Amino acid sequence: MTVQVVGGRYELIRQVGAGGMGQVYEGFDRNLKRRIAVKVTHANLDTDPEWTKRFLREAEVMATVSHPGTPAIYDAGTTEESTPRPFLVMEFVDGVTFDDLLARRGPLPVGAVAALGAQVAAVLAATHRHRIYHRDLKPSNLMLCDNGTVKVLDFGLAVALDSGLSRYTTTGQTIGTPAFMAPEQIESRDVTPQTDLYALGLIVHEMLTGERVFTGDNAYTVWSQQVSAVAPDIRAERPETPSDMAGLIMCMLEKKPESRPAGAKIVHSVLIRHAAGLGDLVDDVDSPARMYAAAVSASASGAGAVSAGTPVETVQVAYSSSPTPVPTDDLSRGDLHRAVERARRLADESRYHPAIRHLKTVVDAAVPVLGARDADVVDARVALAGLRYESDSYAEAADLYRVLIDDLTSERGPYDDQVMFCQRRFAECILHLGKKADAVDRLIRLRGQMEARHGASDRRVVELAEVIADIQR
């Protein structure tokens, strides 16, 4: 039997999964002699001429997310066929899916559910920072490994679904699984971090009860329930669920995204309080991975404690039977976006001081909530630095760009477009401050990075070379 090989080195051994976007194979890397997972997209998805380019770009973005809860991405490319198809090479993950776990065990202990849910929330916190949303989170995409770690699967294909793709693929299947789709997905509205949190709420609810939250004879029935039906009160099913955890779950299942927790960090902070050992759910209780995790845990300030620096307040979440306080925060991504827009309007009127003051206030509030390296916060920080630059406050702008370069380079690497933009702006700031030689040196190094990233003939590289020549005259 002829073995199919992609990328000149990856053998496709057997199909282990399939979905609306493509097939997943167990594979073997001939060069490194290791088992891998290879995801190959459906042939009829390439009707969009930008599909392959977008898929590979998103795979590149996903590869920047280094987290123990996501399978490592090893490679990406296109198949050697008459109609080439994009493929993704990833770490092969062994374990049991949450689906299989529930089928075998039924409802799980509260402490185990909290521990599993907290791991998933930690993964989402990492990916949401890069604006990578799973969009198809469900029990079959969550793998409990023998060492007790949870891997969130199928990010690699989900991230390729941007706003340019319809909710229906050319295969006729929906992008998402009805039982775990948020109302905004069903209604073709914008996907946000809260979309994934809704799905996680459904999963946590199911792990506690052993039953799907919304069911029906067909997809349309389930969709209708997701949009309009109230989820069963979790404490009616599992009265021993701690009140804050129960309130969190019901908050995650709110129909409006803005009524759900502001981010995965909030979800994690509640679930981790009640996390307990997984007991006989895992086989390798003395695994090195668990030893490592225990050491990391010990270095944190108090197991399960919420950091004193986390600005968390309690609000009353209105659902049918319990006014349980649910941790949330008073700043949303929408507030951040509106602050950037308002600052831009003020700057367009040459009102730089109020623009800078307003945006700085919101950025300062957003950093401890969402994190300094969250993609939306980074955009706002770049906008704030830009306002400083436009208002001729070059020293202040340079300070902001320097910190941004450090933060983003450690997170994304030196060839990220936003990193290189900040490098150029920093060089322009110090040029205005009279440091010509230093500025030119930085721009020359930046040109080398851009050439490596985009190619020597790229218009941005050519334009920068002309700028450098003008400065040197």
Residues belonging to the active site: 136
Distance CA 65, CA 416 (A): 13
Q: Is 28 helix (H, G, I), strand (E, B) or coil?
A: strand
Distance CA 333, CA 341 (A): 12
Parallel, antiparallel, or unpaired: how do β-strands 142-144 and 86-91 relate?
A: unpaired
Binding residues for ATP: 39
Question: Locate tokens 């080398």: which residue?
Answer: 448
Q: Which long-range contacts (CB under 8 A, 24 or more apart) does 50-59 make?
A: 50/164, 51/86, 52/78, 52/84, 52/86, 54/160, 54/162, 54/164, 55/86, 55/160, 56/86, 58/159, 58/160, 58/162, 59/86, 59/88, 59/156, 59/159, 59/160
Distance CA 347, CA 343 (A): 6
Contact 382, 374 (CB under 8 A): no
Q: Is 11 helix (H, G, I), strand (E, B) or coil?
A: strand
Contacts of 28 (CB under 8 A, 6+ apart): 10, 11, 13, 34, 35, 36
Distance CA 179, CA 176 (A): 9
Distance CA 242, CA 67 (A): 29
Parallel, antiparallel, or unpaired: how do β-strands 150-152 and 96-97 relate?
A: unpaired
Distance CA 400, CA 382 (A): 8
| Start-to-end CA span in the chain (Å) | 67
Binding residues: 39
Contact 153, 143 (CB under 8 A): yes
